[in-house]
Structure 1
Amino acid sequence: MACIVLATKLMFDLFMKTKFGFLIKVTGDNPTLVHTLGVSTGMTKICALMISNALVALAGSLMAQYQGFSDITMGNGIIVMGLASVIFGEALCKRFKFFKGSTIVIVGAWLYQIVTTIVLQCGFAPSDLKLMSALIIIAALTFSTQKLNTKNKRKVKLFQKVQLRGCTNVSNSKSM
């Protein structure tokens, strides 16, 4: 299973470095620019959805193979889990420079599953997992926001020092 995840990750990363991969990124960031280039943003979005649906189908088939069965309710809560994994990975792995792009999502999913396993081992009921997912998201967002506020406070202090030095230099030059 890990080999398939790694191979899919590598192929996805290589694809996102192609011209069409960059076009998909730019369509998400600035559709007006893509339209100005003469490329159909609608077709680009449709192709991106096709790729994402193919990856979802691969994940679903791997899960069915791993569990040995398939059920119509297997996908319940997957969006919350995916969101929690992305937020968890972004909050915890962003400060490490060697984690980029899809690696952050994979590490976040792995960490999320570890936390879920620990929660179940502590004796919580499986029905409490949605609550635990919400708490993980809140904790990750709080951790991420505190880190951001610390960086912003440092920048504000540095800006104030530079601004004060600039004001004293201006006032000194006028008094001469």
Structure 2
Amino acid sequence: MKIFTLQRKALSFSKISLLILSMFLLQGCPYESTFPLTGKDIVFPSEYLGTWYEKDGNEGVLDYKKYIFRELDDMSIYLDEMELNDNDEWETTTYECHISYVGESRFVNVKTTDKTSDGVYYLYNVEMEDDQMNVRGITTNITKEFENADSLYQYVEKYKHLDFFYSAEDAKILTQWGDH
């Protein structure tokens, strides 16, 4: 009888552990939309082009992950998100990006380009400050369903000034760092 109870507790603990692990793995994904904030009608700023690295909390740079912005056309760029795997090889995910302005605020619409693309856009607020790019993903806590890009745009316009509109897990400071 005690063995059966211990097995049941171990199974419950395993399920809870799996749930907690899943919650941690799923963090860090910004809000997803089936349409962008706006169409591609703004020339993509050239200051984004190049290789960028994420700064860590100690003002250092994470050299195992980099972001390469390269030109696609005047209105769009490719973003290659690259991370070193355990074999010291770069694994790359490529996105297509375009700019939207909501008032004075600049947002980047990011869409995956690989064969497994699910047709969603990730939305990031981006501010350039000297040689740094401050990136904040819109929170996934939005439960409202939007009928079209106009309703999404109006929602973002209404709440873009609030700190809790952005996900802390998706906040990054990128810097161009040497010739790496």
More strand by share: 2
Q: What is the TM-score of this pair, normalised by structure 1?
A: 0.25
Q: What is the TM-score of this pair, normalised by structure 2?
A: 0.25
Bigger Rg, structure 1 or 2: 1
Structure with more relative contact order (C-alpha pairs < 8 Å, separation 6 or more): 2
